[in-house]
Amino acid sequence: MTVHIGAQKGEIAETVLMPGDPYRAKWAAETFLTDVRLVNEVRGMLGFTGTWNGHPVTIQGSGMGMPSLSIYANELIRDYGAKTLIRIGSCGGMQPHVGIRDVIIAMTASTLSTPSRGIFKELNFAPCADWSLLRAAVAAAEAKGTKTHVGGIYSSDVFYDERPDLNEQMTRHGILGVEMEAAELYNLAARHSVRALAVLTVSDHLQTGEALPSEDRERSFGDMVEIALTAAFA
């Protein structure tokens, strides 16, 4: 048990999927796992452990933003022995060829700042995904026939962004989508020598203004969860 996670020792699996929304964690656990049990509800940040194809899996909400994810990822790694952490979540598309419902598998995650900036100081560390997870996720997406994009994403500090100039430069430099957590997850994975990946569903688009209808979200997010689970145990 930690300050933010109420699970007992042995209740957290070595493989953890991390959606931002705790209710998305509940949906994913009940939809894809068997023998599901609630292992955390501290501050309403729900976590569940069950099995997928016989493999133990925990799905733990991370909250919104890198500071919140940093709390949960640190405790999962340091106190519960998590070895593989995969962010599953939504993102905003930034390239014309990236469509609503497409899946983005993040090779790298650029950012203005993360909670790790105090450690790196003047160094612009380049956090990236684990190659074995990345390769397995791409293979899983191709096997499913899911339209997938692999490349760099942008992890923003803010949801209500007022930097159109920065968004323009991100798009100019090939950034596929924007979200708020992956860069810090990749930093922590590098620091603690564990595996990390972000598999994201495009739910809206910064250029076109399109947004995924709520009734379509579960089907689209389901592809993302299946890709993440398959990659974790490839």
Please report whether residue 25 resides in a domain: yes
How far apart CA 31 and CA 222 sit, in angstroms, is 9
Q: Is the pLDDT of residue 105 over 90?
A: yes
* DSSP string for 19-86: -SSHHHHHHHHHHH-EEEEEEE-GGG--EEEEEETTEEEEEE---SSHHHHHHHHHHHHHHH---EEE
Mean pLDDT of 114-119: 92
Band of pLDDT at residue 162, cut at 50, 70 and 90: confident
Q: Is the pLDDT of residue 161 over 90?
A: no
Least confident of 179-183, 204-208, 225-229: 204-208
Please report whether residue 3 resides in a domain: no
Percent of the chain scoring above 90 in pLDDT: 91
pTM: predicted TM-score of the whole model, two decimal places = 0.96
Catalytic residue among 21, 157, 204, 223: 204
Please report whether residue 130 resides in a domain: yes
41 is an annotated ligand-binding site residue: no
Placement of tokens 């048990």 in the chain: 1
216 as an active site residue: the answer is no
Mean pLDDT of 100-105: 96
107 is an annotated ligand-binding site residue: no
Domain enclosing residue 25, as ranges: 15-232
Contact 181, 66 (CB under 8 A): yes
Please report whether residue 24 resides in a domain: yes
20 is an annotated ligand-binding site residue: yes
Please report whether residue 4 resides in a domain: no
Where residue 160 sits, what CATH number does that domain have? 3.40.50.1580
How many domains does the chain fold into? Answer: 1
In tens, the pLDDT along 2-36 reads 999 999 999 999 999 999 999 999 999 999 999 99
How far apart CA 164 and CA 205 sit, in angstroms, is 14
Please report whether residue 36 resides in a domain: yes
Please report whether residue 8 resides in a domain: no
The residues with which 152 forms a beta bridge, in sequence order, are: 108
Q: Is the pLDDT of residue 65 over 80?
A: yes
Q: Is the pLDDT of residue 216 over 80?
A: no
Please report whether residue 2 resides in a domain: no
**What does the pLDDT read at residue 219?**
64
Mean per-residue pLDDT of the chain: 95
More confidently predicted of 164 and 153: 153
In tens, the pLDDT along 80-90 reads 999 999 999 99
Q: Is the pLDDT of residue 214 over 80?
A: no
